Amino acid sequence: MVSMLLKRFLGAVPTLFVIVTLTFLMMRLTPGGPFDSGRVVSPEVQANLLHAYHLDEPLPAQYLRYLGDLAHGDFGPSFTSKDFSVTQLIRQGFPVSLELGVSAMALALAVGLALGTFGALRQNRISDRVVIVFAMVGIIIPSFVMAPILTLVFGVTLHWLPAGGWGDGHQLSYKVLPVVALALPRVSSIARLSRSSMIEALQMPFIRTAYAKGLPRRLVLFRHAMRAAVLPVVSYLGPATAGIITGSIVVEQVFSIPGIGRYFVDAALNRDYTLVSGVVIFYGCIIVLFNLIVDILYGFLDPRIARQ
């Protein structure tokens, strides 16, 4: 297990290096700059601003300076959010994005596994076909379409739930709509995965042996079949959890949630090089971390993986 995790970690280093390099180059080569606003400033002021942030240096020099700052855990100052560093902005917004993403993933996992198992146990019946249709609809309709629909129906028309905002961070009513909007596509994917893997697991020889020994159906299902059926779902959880956290950017904009997505969108529009790069690199690290967590879980569920 340790050797496998070490290999995964060493393989992630060049991936992160590529992410850092591409993000740096794409932001620097994009037309426009952080100080190209509608306000007219004198050439002297413009030159002083560029010099203060080292943007007047050659591109290779800027790149090496940026790598040196990253090696010390410094993402640099934000060009548009005065008196704040990129690290401070990420520290402020990420807990909200993390809570939103983890809540959505927990909901998706619970509902998706339940629907997939239910569909597998009633294979080819009407209820199973309903599960399949629900899964297809959930995958087809993305979060940025589902979020305005939920807001219009439950927030504006029915007035059951707040149409936006995050409240004081502790009010459940503000979290229901964004969590559901973010979770629905993943519910569908998990339901499809768990249904197909459960159908395959129920046909394996060890399941028939367990039934032949007279074990109760509930015990066979949850102790034996579920362990084999959940493996594809676990493989999906790593990139899905990272994707649901990074993908919350759109949902945060729709519901006006003070997460990291607000800073990212504003930074992209205003060409805030350091903030955009910092968020992308930070999310890249999250994806690597969740993939490592999935490898650990997979090793516990399937000992053959741990011995590789």
Q: What string of DSSP letters covers 240-282?
A: HHHHHHHTHHHHHHHHT--SHHHHHHHHHHTT-HHHHHHHHHH
- Whether the pLDDT of residue 1 is over 70: the answer is no
In a domain, 31, yes or no: no
In a domain, 4, yes or no: no
Write down the residue that tokens 């399937």 correspond to.
Answer: 302
Number of domains in the chain: 1
Q: Mean of the per-residue pLDDT values for the chain?
A: 80
Q: What is the pLDDT of residue 36?
A: 66
Mean pLDDT value across residues 22-51: 73
Alpha-helical (H) ranges within the chain are: 2-29, 43-52, 59-71, 86-121, 126-140, 143-150, 173-202, 205-212, 217-219, 226-229, 231-246, 248-255, 260-269, 273-301, 303-306
- Whether the pLDDT of residue 90 is over 80: the answer is yes
- Whether the pLDDT of residue 41 is over 70: the answer is no
pTM of the model: 0.77
In a domain, 93, yes or no: yes
Residue 239's pLDDT band (cuts 50, 70, 90):
confident
In a domain, 55, yes or no: no
Share of the chain above pLDDT 90, in %: 0
In a domain, 228, yes or no: yes
Tell me the C-alpha distance between 117 and 121, whole Å: 6
199 token code pair: 């159908």
> Which domain range does residue 223 map to?
86-306
Q: What is the CATH number of the domain that holds 166?
A: 1.10.3720.10
Residue 301's pLDDT band (cuts 50, 70, 90):
low
